[in-house]
Structure 1
Amino acid sequence: MKKVSYAAFGGPDVLDLIDAEEPHAGPGHIRVSVRAAGVNPVDWRLREGQVLGAHPVELPAGVGLDAAGVVDEVGEGVTDVAVGDRVFGEGADTYAEFAVLSAWAPMPDGLSFAEAAGYPSVVETALRIIDEVGVRPGQKLLVGGASGGVGSAVLQIARERGVTVIGTAGAANQDYLRELGALATTYGDGWVERVRGLGPVDAALDLAGSGVIPDLVALTGDPAKVVTIADLGAPEFGVRFSGVAGSVPDALAEAASLIARGRLHIPVEKSYALTEAAAAHADSRAGHTRGRRVIVI
């Protein structure tokens, strides 16, 4: 089968499309014929040799956590899916023609494979960091870098929980944030004053890693009310860096419920072929995404 792999840490150019042996589903796992794989920042962070404490990598390594596809192999003890079912979920080395998943759920009706592949990790991350930052109904949450996949999920899930959200993003994404129910403002010079003009901030999430942690602490008044998924230096300011996943099956179930009820939608901004994985990583690292980027097999 074809699979994206890298034999050394480095830039996008270390990615190769190779011929590899097909993986097989062990006990409690399933294998899917991958139709689409989500592109997540953790993919290129691992390729660069970052966050290895939380996610050890043995070289050569495959790429990708999220996938949507058709079940073609069921491991021992798995009873909730059968060969031929359409699922989305999380596993390992999903930039490939076949991948083994450790967590999955039936694909919600009406979703394409490309759309479905964009949900697993971002919804798990969104649910986790909303809980970790401790924001409650009736409070106001500031989300820095709000237009990407995780931000799109945070805005909609927080809105569903009765939380008012202020989102920062580039000028081109202001209407997009408003469509998701957020109070929108741009980052850049004067952004702190613009946020203050929208009212007191009870908690804040940093999704972009753009060096704003001290400002977020000042806006909330408490480093315990700030969580980042993007700034590895945040603990120096007493701020939590959240990088360890919670329950992926629970997150997938909640995602499927929200999608089915029309309460969650994350658009696919751009799709790539397996041969374009390096370009997908370069674009993801550059930021300014509206929604998700996916690899389509």
Structure 2
Amino acid sequence: MRAIELAEYGGPEVLKTIAAEDPVPDAGHVLIDVAVSGIQSLDTYLRRGRWTDFFPTTLPYIPGMEAAGVVSAADDPSWIGRRVLASLPNGGYATHVVAPVDKVVPVPDELDLRDAMALLHDGSTALSLLEETPVQAGETVLVQPAAGGLGTVLVQLLAASGARVIGAARGASKLALVRELGADVVVDYSAPDWLSQVGTVDIVFDGVGGSLGQAAIGAVRDGGRYSNYGNASGSADGVTASGGISVRGIDQLGTFRTDNRGRILDLAAAGKIRAVIGRTWPLDQAAEAHRAVEAREVLGKALLIPR
């Protein structure tokens, strides 16, 4: 098989294409011929050696925590030929992966594999965020960044719930996408007066962190809620709050359920939510893909196509 190997921490250039033996599934596992691999922001942090205390890695390794394709081998023959998604500790940037069956989700026939891949992690996380910080119809909710893979799912789910959604992002193309997905108000948080356009909100879902996260929490009403799910700003500093604001930090991600992945796929198959795929790259261009993700050039989900 072909795969991307990470032998040392560093910039995107450390991602190298290698040839390796095809993996063989043990009992209770399946071999997947990968059609599409998902790229997470977390992949770029781990590549630089960040967050390895929470997500241990041993060099060298094949990065990638999500892959989709067709099962080609399994001890249970009922799996063979099925289109599936797999959640992985690593190994997803490859033409073949092995995954335990309890980490594999069948893809509905109505759903394209690329669309399903775009929703595997972000859709599951979005549902869990809304379980941990429930939103009532009529409440005003700020989502930032609203044009990323997770933000685009959150905006759609919140709009469908009857919330008043404010989507914050950077640049006209991203704001246009966020409005198209159902946001009532869009705000460019690179503008100096962006908070005045937000006003007061009941809830913030923040994947940026840093100074923008701290600014956003200042828009939350007394007794409101703030939920952090990422640090796209690159800052690991947490926010501080007053006025009885309930704060959920990024550590909540480690407690989220994973048995809701089928639910997000069913919503997509029924046409109630759509995947937003920003860009795709061949497997050999993983370094270029990481550069684009780190530069925040991608609207929605970034994908690698191994074949």
Q: TM-score normalised to the size of structure 2?
A: 0.87
> In structure 1, what is the Cα distance between the partners aligned to 2:157 and 2:27?
33
Q: Do the aligned residues in 2 keep the contact of 1:4 with 1:15 (CA within 8 Å)? A: yes
**8 Å contact from structure 1 (residues 143, 204) kept in 2:** yes
Asked if the contact 2:13/2:287 (under 8 Å) is kept, the reply is yes
Q: Take 2:178 and 2:117, find their aligned partners in 1: how far apart are those partners? A: 22
The partner residue of 1:85 within 62, 82, 88 is: 82
Which deviations, in whole Å up to 9, do the C-alpha atoms of 1:94-113 show, x marking residues without a partner?
A: 11011123422222334333
What is the match of residue 287 of structure 2?
278
2:202 matches 1:207: no
Q: In 2, are the aligned partners of 1:3 and 1:17 still within 8 Å (CA)?
A: yes
1:34 Cα offset (Å): 0.3
Distance 1:72 1:180, change over 3 A: same
Q: CA deviation at 1:152?
A: 0.8
- Alignment partner of 1:192 out of 195, 202, 217: 195
Structure 1 equivalent of residue 244 of structure 2: none
Partners in 2 of 1:264 and 1:192 — Cα distance? Answer: 29
Report the CA distance shift for 1:104/1:228 in structure 2 as closer, same or farther (over 3 A): same
- The 5 Å alignment of 1:242-261 reads 242=251, 243-244=253-254, 246-248=256-258, 250-261=259-270
Instruction: Tell me, in whole angstroms, the C-alpha distance in 1 between the residues paired with 2:81 and 2:52.
Output: 35
SS at 2:201 equivalent: coil
- Asked whether the 8 Å contact 1:12–1:281 carries over to 2, the reply is yes
Deviation at 1:134, TM superposition (A): 3.6
**Using the alignment, how far apart are the partners of 1:97 and 1:54 within structure 2?**
27
- The C-alpha deviation readout for 1:35-67, integer Å capped at 9, x for no partner, is 100111011111111121221111111111111
The one-letter amino acid paired with 2:137 is P
Question: Does the Cα contact within 8 Å between 1:147 and 1:288 map onto a contact in 2?
Answer: no
Distance 2:221 2:49 in 1: 33
Q: 1:65 maps to which residue?
A: 65
The Cα of 1:128 is off from its aligned counterpart by: 2.2
1:174 corresponds to 2:175: yes
Contact (CA 8 Å) 1:124, 1:245: kept in 2 or not? Answer: no
The equivalences for 1:82-161 within 5 A come to 82-91=79-88, 92-102=90-100, 103-161=103-161
Q: For 1:64-122, what per-residue CA distance to the aligned partner results, in whole angstroms no more than 9, with x for missing partners?
A: 111110011225xx68x511111123123111011123422222334333222212111
How far is the alpha carbon of 1:175 from its aligned partner? Answer: 2.3
1:290 to partner: Cα distance: 1.6
What pairs with 1:14-53 in structure 2 (closer than 5 Å)? 14-53=14-53
CA drift at 1:14: 0.8
Counterpart CA distance in 1 for 2:118 and 2:210 is 23
- 1:236 and 1:118 map into 2 onto residues whose CA distance is 29
* Letter in structure 2 aligned against 1:84: G
Aligned length: 290
| CA spacing shift, 1:289–1:222, aligned 2, 3 Å | farther
* Partner-residue secondary structure (3-state), 1:202: strand
Cα separation, 2, equivalents of 1:164 and 1:28: 45
What SS class does the counterpart of residue 211 from structure 1 fall into? helix
Q: Structure 2 unaligned runs (5+)?
A: 242-246
Aligned-residue RMSD, C-alpha:
2.2
- 1:293 offset after TM fit, Å? 1.2
Distance 2:44 2:125 in 1: 16
CA pair 234-162 structure 1, distance change in 2 beyond 3 A: farther
SS at match of 1:281: helix
Identity of aligned pairs, percent? 29
Structure 1 portions without partners, runs of 5+: none
Contact 2:83 2:107 in 1 (8 A): yes
